[in-house]
């Protein structure tokens, strides 16, 4: 049987899985990788990835193609990496074709959040939706867009940089990793929640622990998570006014806090939409248990 090797490459680890053309995950692999070195060079990246993939391919001779989600901007469907915000040394890299010639099999690569959107549309909460806006809500906030059944990349692979929509414009607007101020990512990502909780309590714990505290009566924790939902809804309303897409799905670690996030998100979304759109937008939590990105990466080659 022909199988697909799919990989979701993050800052500190790679999740990979062997997937059937029907989207069934048969084997999952996770490995640490030192991409958190911001200064990784093109050649070092290729060497690390080739060695990682080779090890899996040698054990599974039924693998016939590789699909990869990667945190970067790609030119259309070419697998040509224009740049990667967290890996500044990587510019204009023929990533797919270099991997393909080293590994001797077809390799397709696309932006990680766009892969998650594709996975959610094909197998998850967005199944059957011709138009879908997908958010990945984790240490950062990513966005992926499907329009008329086609993943939309933008002209420079930078469409749906949702995390950098501005929701605050005053002098106190929070600074963002992109160099801007007031981006929704600097208020509502897991990293931002940890930071905001620390500013209020001098206690540094991760977003999951903050959610647990919120559920056990910590009012500061509860307020920070609920307001994050509010900020997400505000930014989503701006996106919907541009796109008129009625289905939104959300994946990522922070969806663990859905019960506190969602009511505030949907309230501020509707409050900020133009009246004819109010109440028409459905916002659904991913049904793929964090596998949206992997399944979307497999969809690149199946
Ligand atoms: Zn930003």
Q: How far is the CA of 218 from the centre of ligand 1 (A)?
A: 29
| Maximum Cα interatomic distance, the chain, rounded to a whole number of Å | 59
Nearest to 91 by CA among 107, 80, 99: 80
Q: How far is the CA of 151 from the centre of ligand 1 (A)?
A: 23
Tokens of residue 15, six digits: 């999740």
CATH fold group of domain 128-285: Nucleotidyltransferase; domain 5 (3.30.420)
- Between CA 194 and CA 3 the distance in angstroms is 40
- Between CA 191 and CA 193 the distance in angstroms is 5
Locate the domains of the chain by residue range. 3-116+291-299, 128-285
Tokens of residue 274, six digits: 């133009």
142 touches 277 (CB < 8 A): no
Cβ atoms within 10 Å of 78's Cβ, excluding its own: 17
Q: How far is the CA of 62 from the centre of ligand 1 (A)?
A: 42
Q: Is residue 1 over pLDDT 70? A: no
pLDDT value of position 36: 64
pLDDT value of position 295: 96
Give the 3-state secondary structure of residue 233. Answer: helix
Kindly state the DSSP code that residue 174 receives in the 8-state scheme: P
Q: Is residue 177 over pLDDT 90? A: no
Q: How far is the CA of 214 from the centre of ligand 1 (A)?
A: 27
Q: How far is the CA of 183 from the centre of ligand 1 (A)?
A: 5
Indicate if 128-285 has the same CATH topology as 3-116+291-299: yes
Task: Indicate the range of 27-36, 74-83, 208-217 predicted with least confidence.
Answer: 27-36
Residues in the chain: 302
- Between CA 110 and CA 76 the distance in angstroms is 8
Give the 3-state secondary structure of residue 85. Answer: coil
Arithmetic mean of pLDDT, 273-299: 95
* Percentage of the chain lying above the pLDDT 90 cut: 86
Q: How far is the CA of 249 from the centre of ligand 1 (A)?
A: 21
CATH fold group of domain 3-116+291-299: Nucleotidyltransferase; domain 5 (3.30.420)
Task: Indicate the range of 142-146, 174-178, 183-187, 243-247 predicted with least confidence.
Answer: 174-178
pLDDT value of position 289: 80
- Between CA 124 and CA 132 the distance in angstroms is 12
pLDDT band at 122 (very low <50, low <70, confident <90, very high): very high
- Between CA 215 and CA 69 the distance in angstroms is 34
Q: How far is the CA of 74 from the centre of ligand 1 (A)?
A: 19
pLDDT tens-digit series, residues 32-48 = 666 667 788 999 999 99
Q: How far is the CA of 139 from the centre of ligand 1 (A)?
A: 13
Q: How far is the CA of 179 from the centre of ligand 1 (A)?
A: 6
Which spans in the chain are helix H? Answer: 42-59, 95-103, 112-123, 185-188, 190-201, 207-215, 219-243, 258-272, 292-299
**Residue 5: strand pairing partners:** 18, 66
Q: How far is the CA of 177 from the centre of ligand 1 (A)?
A: 6
Q: How far is the CA of 276 from the centre of ligand 1 (A)?
A: 30
When the pLDDT of each residue in the chain is averaged and rounded to a whole number, the result is 94
Kindly state the DSSP code that residue 289 receives in the 8-state scheme: T
Q: How far is the CA of 175 from the centre of ligand 1 (A)?
A: 8
Q: How far is the CA of 235 from the centre of ligand 1 (A)?
A: 13
Nearest to 161 by CA among 268, 180, 174: 180
Q: How far is the CA of 162 from the centre of ligand 1 (A)?
A: 9
Whole-prediction pTM: 0.94
CA 79 to chain centroid, in Å, comes to 18
């Amino acid at each position: 049987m022909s199988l697909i090797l799919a990989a979701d490459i993050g800052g500190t680890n790679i999740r990979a899985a062997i997937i059937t053309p029907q989207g069934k995950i048969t084997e999952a692999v996770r490995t640490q990788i030192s991409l958190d070195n911001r200064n990784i060079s093109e050649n070092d990246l290729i060497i690390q990835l080739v060695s990682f993939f080779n090890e899996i391919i040698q054990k599974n001779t039924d693998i016939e193609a590789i699909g990869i989600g990667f945190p970067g901007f790609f030119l259309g469907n070419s697998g040509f990496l224009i740049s990667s915000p967290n890996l500044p040394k990587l510019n204009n890299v023929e990533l797919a074709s270099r991997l393909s010639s080293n590994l001797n099999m077809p390799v397709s690569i696309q932006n990680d959040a766009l892969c998650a959107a594709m996975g959610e549309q094909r197998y998850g909460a967005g199944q059957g939706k011709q138009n879908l806006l997908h958010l990945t809500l984790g240490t950062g906030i990513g966005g992926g867009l499907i329009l008329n059944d086609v993943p939309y990349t933008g002209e420079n692979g930078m469409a749906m940089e949702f995390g950098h929509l501005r929701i605050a414009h005053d002098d106190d607007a929070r600074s963002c990793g992109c160099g801007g101020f007031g981006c929704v990512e600097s208020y509502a990502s897991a990293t931002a929640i940890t930071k905001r909780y620390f500013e209020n309590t001098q206690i540094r714990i991760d977003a999951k622990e903050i959610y647990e505290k919120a559920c056990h009566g910590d009012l500061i924790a509860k307020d920070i998570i609920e307001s994050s939902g509010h900020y997400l809804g505000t930014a989503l309303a701006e996106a919907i006014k541009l796109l008129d897409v009625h289905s939104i799905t959300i994946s990522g670690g922070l969806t663990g806090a859905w019960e506190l996030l969602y009511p505030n998100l949907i309230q501020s979304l509707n409050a900020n939409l133009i009246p004819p759109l109010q109440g028409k937008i459905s916002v659904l939590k991913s049904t793929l248990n964090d596998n949206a990105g992997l399944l979307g990466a497999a969809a690149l080659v199946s």
